[in-house]
Structure 1
């Protein structure tokens, strides 16, 4: 039954990724954490994250934002993800679970409070190095960088194709750092590796459905549905940690 929830989490992640070009971890990681733990959730997401974003980078290869921003974001994300993965190997599970719940709440709060916030390119270029590093650390430690990475990039208001190309490169760089560190620290077991490989199937299979939904369902309505679902998941994660403590 638990494998069904892994399938469901990646299917929902695929729908969100197909509709928006990103965001699969913000759905998949919390759901998997509910039934397993944070290390399992983060580890089995690495292969689907790497391969699905490789495909998107190739498909949107002519739409990258200027290298001064996109390469710096990806490079610092790589460094941050390596640091975060070491944290994942050592930090207590309850602490990591609470971090996932709190980050999801923070993401929801910012989306609701600042839906139209605009970040000028010059300002983004000045802060991209710390933003990429912090987002990478969060991705490595708890599998969710969206409160920083997606908020940062969305605030620049790029065209959809530019957004997908740039965020996909960022996710590739983080996954490339996570995988060898996970292997080195014993987080990526053979069982998790095969589950991670199989999880690519529902993620990729449901991305076209997300793209279809994006054509017919208003973006605002779709976003609200996702935020409500994430709210329930975040509350459950935080409540489980408190109850267990």
Structure 2
């Protein structure tokens, strides 16, 4: 148990560094690592509070960079609704199935980023599909704790400036976490033990965020991003091996 907690805190530190660098990606690191020691519902519940706190904080920092409020409201609102549906799926699906889903999502995210690094989405089309994209991302976030294959890919394809991307995706993640927290408690997944762990996990997460912001200024986002994707690939393979 001590080893599991130490590794969990390291995972949140790494997730915080990634979030500070690019504004997203924390659950793609934290959920698979935690799932090696705990089941996916436990990992998703432990991540909900740190997700809410960090995204509110980062979203507030970059609030002045949001230029299309209507787009963000539709995206975030639909994502919150999707997170509720996803939480119901989280409570219903077997733990092994969820672990494999998490691993496959991580692998898909890595593969897509490597194969289509410059894929672009017309902004007019992106605005038109904001609600369905947000809803789908919310379902993934609620059911598996990882929405990056949809949320990050969708917003990255619009080619927003870094500050606007961070402001938008932080609002999206915060809306999902607001719905997740009471929903997880309502379906009996969130316990006081998990809630206390999630409070402690906020410490390494917030410590990691300024480190990531400083690192990306020195190394560049691309180099840092490739290192994280290599880590995700290894974690995903470990999860699949544990589940089969």
Question: Where does residue 230 of structure 2 map in the other structure?
Answer: 228
Question: Where does residue 86 of structure 2 map in the other structure?
Answer: 84
Question: Where does residue 182 of structure 1 map in the other structure?
Answer: 184
CA distance in 1, matches of 2:219, 2:64: 28
Question: Where does residue 69 of structure 1 map in the other structure?
Answer: 71
CA distance in 1, matches of 2:45, 2:168: 23
Question: Where does residue 95 of structure 1 map in the other structure?
Answer: 97
CA distance in 1, matches of 2:125, 2:117: 18
> Which one of 136, 139, 142 corresponds to residue 138 of structure 2?
136
- CA displacement at 1:241 relative to structure 2: 1.0
> Which one of 23, 27, 39 corresponds to residue 21 of structure 1?
23
Question: Where does residue 38 of structure 1 map in the other structure?
Answer: 40
CA distance in 2, matches of 1:196, 1:65: 33
Question: Where does residue 168 of structure 2 map in the other structure?
Answer: 166
Task: Indicate conservation of the 8 Å contact 1:100/1:144, yes or no.
Answer: yes
Please list every run of at least 4 consecutive aligned residues from structure 1 whose deviation after the TM superposition is greater than 6 angstroms: none
CA-atom RMSD in angstroms? 0.8
> Which one of 113, 120, 124 corresponds to residue 115 of structure 2?
113
Which segment is superposed worse, 230-239 or 214-223? 214-223
How many correspondences in the alignment? 242
- CA displacement at 1:219 relative to structure 2: 2.2
Per-residue deviation, residues 63-86 of structure 1 (Å, max 9, x unmatched): 114122111110000000000001
CA distance in 2, matches of 1:59, 1:15: 16
Per-residue deviation, residues 109-148 of structure 1 (Å, max 9, x unmatched): 1001100011111010122111111100000001000000
Which segment is superposed worse, 139-148 or 222-231? 222-231
Normalising by structure 1, report the TM-score: 0.97
Query: Structure 2: any 5+ residue segments left out of the alignment?
Result: none
Report matched runs for 1:186-197 at 5 Å.
186-197=188-199
Task: Indicate conservation of the 8 Å contact 1:68/1:125, yes or no.
Answer: no
